[in-house]
Copies of this chain bind each other. A is one copy, B any other.
Amino acid sequence: MSKKISRIFAAAIDVFSKFGFEKAKMDLIAEKAKVAKGTIYYHFKSKEEIFFSLIEEGINQLIQLLNEGTKPLSSGKEKLEKAIEIQVNYIFDYKDFTKILLSEVWGSEERQIRFRELLQKLLKLLQNYIEQGIQEGDYRQRDLELTASSIFGIISVTSLHTLLGQLNYTPEQITEHVQSMIEESLKK
């Protein structure tokens, strides 16, 4: 990926996270990326496209981290615990990205719908870990979709609350708390 495209990406993450999609100005992105405005449009079709590319790359990166991080582990229970840890750390490592992610998923715009489809891939991973845990006898029978969605909900909302300044916890504390809650509610 060319240097300029990288700079545009970085600037876009910065600006989108600070202002949200609608209020983010292409002028500002260009300025922060130190490229001419036209350069952005040479590489991306539109504001929407640059936004979606960003999200896609971010989610895929997280999914890859999850796949890599859980590969050495054998049991579903271990994988789920690891997955929680990875997600929380990811959120704290890429605060800006997460702020975009979680403030722009809900809505009826075309881009937001495509957006949620990407997230499904992530939720599917969580479902797989839970399902394995159930088959291995570690977890009780629970609705997979609802449970995966719940886990994602706990992680996102507690982390976001912290990042947005309403709560004051470290990633480790949050990881520990979420793992514990999930463990208790799933264990036989």
A interface list, Cβ under 8 A from B: 18-20, 22-23, 99, 102-103, 106-109, 116, 120, 142-143, 145-147, 149-150, 152-158, 160-161, 164, 166-167, 169, 173-174, 177-178, 180-182, 184-187
Contact B103 A106 (CB under 8 A): yes
What 10 A-B pairs come out closest when comparing CB atoms? A153-B157, A22-B22, A103-B106, A153-B153, A184-B185, A185-B185, A181-B185, A150-B154, A153-B154, A149-B158
A-B contact list, 22 entries, CB within 8 Å: A18-B108, A103-B107, A106-B160, A116-B164, A143-B173, A146-B158, A146-B174, A149-B158, A149-B167, A150-B153, A150-B157, A150-B158, A150-B178, A150-B181, A153-B153, A153-B155, A153-B157, A153-B158, A154-B154, A184-B184, A184-B185, A185-B185
- Residue from the list B143, B178, B186, B187 in contact with A177, Cβ < 8 A: B143
Contact B177 A146 (CB under 8 A): yes
> Residues of B contacting A22 with CB < 8 Å?
20, 22-23
How many copies are assembled?
4
> Residues of B contacting A177 with CB < 8 Å?
142-143, 146-147, 150
Contact A102 B108 (CB under 8 A): no
Q: How far is the CA of A173 from the CA of B167 in the complex (A)?
A: 30
Q: How far is the CA of A109 from the CA of B160 in the complex (A)?
A: 15
Give the Cβ gap from A146 to chain B, nearest Cβ, in Å.
5
> Residues of B contacting A23 with CB < 8 Å?
22, 109
**In the complex, what residue of chain B is closest to A186 when comparing beta carbons?**
B184
Give the Cβ gap from A121 to chain B, nearest Cβ, in Å.
12
Q: How far is the CA of A173 from the CA of B143 in the complex (A)?
A: 10
